[in-house]
A and B are shown apart, each in its own frame.
Chain A
Amino acid sequence: MAKRPPITNRVRELREAHDQMSQSALAKAIGVTRQTVIAIERGKYSPSLESAFRIARVFGVGLEDVFGWEGD
């Protein structure tokens, strides 16, 4: 089994806080597939820095409001 990256995120929480934005809508907004958004939300995949910034910009928050380091 692939090792989980030690990065936490609040993507699902932020998405739901934004009028229940769908995974597909977020995927389209940041230029990835819905499966990639699902993988990010489940902590199975750490997005590239560019996609991380895109996600933060979609929600109008800073990068550290979306992503964190496990244990911090």
Chain B
Amino acid sequence: MSFREQSAWAMMAILTVGGLWYFNKVRAASVALGETAPPIMPFVIAYIVLIVIASIVAMSVLGMASPEAANAPADERERQADSRAGDLSGYVLGAGVIIGLLHYPLHMDGNMLYHIGFASLMLSQIAEYGLRIWYYRTGS
């Protein structure tokens, strides 16, 4: 497995675990309130800080395991895979935004609009790493 594929697996795992943790907190807060919880900034900040720290740790560990590969630029196949994955993940973000925009006029729930937007951002990032892995494995 190449360094970039290992990195993609690590980032996908970090983002998935972080996203599940965050939305579990939002769900619990919404249940307690009996309505959609507003954006909980301490959790948003904690999520971002945890993602950044976990990413730095993961990349450092992977980089130390194979420093030459870590320092090498992406080759032509990897660049092509990254580009395709980025293109397609944009559709995930776009779909989420459209869902949020359709949901808002029907329910007038600004909190839900925020959560849908945040979830779309997370899902598009997870999709991007997943698609990178797919393209790395299928030859791009």
Point out residues on A near B: beta carbons under 8 Å.
Answer: 1-2, 31-36, 39, 42, 44-45, 47-48, 51
Contact = CB atoms under 8 A, between A and B. Distances in A.
A44 B139 contact: yes
Q: Residue among A35, A42, A44, A51 with the most chain B CB within 10 A?
A: A35
B139 A47 contact: no
Contacts of B71: none
A50 B26 CA distance: 51
A33 B138 CA distance: 15
A47 B138 contact: no
B28 interface: no
Contact of A36 (B69, B77, B135): B77
A32 B138 contact: no
Contacts of B111: none
B24 interface: no
Interface string B55-97: 0000000000000010010011110000000000000000000
Contacts of B69: 33
A32 to B, nearest CB: 4
A2 B2 contact: no
Q: Residue among B2, B69, B135 with the most chain A CB within 10 A?
A: B2
Nearest to B73: A31
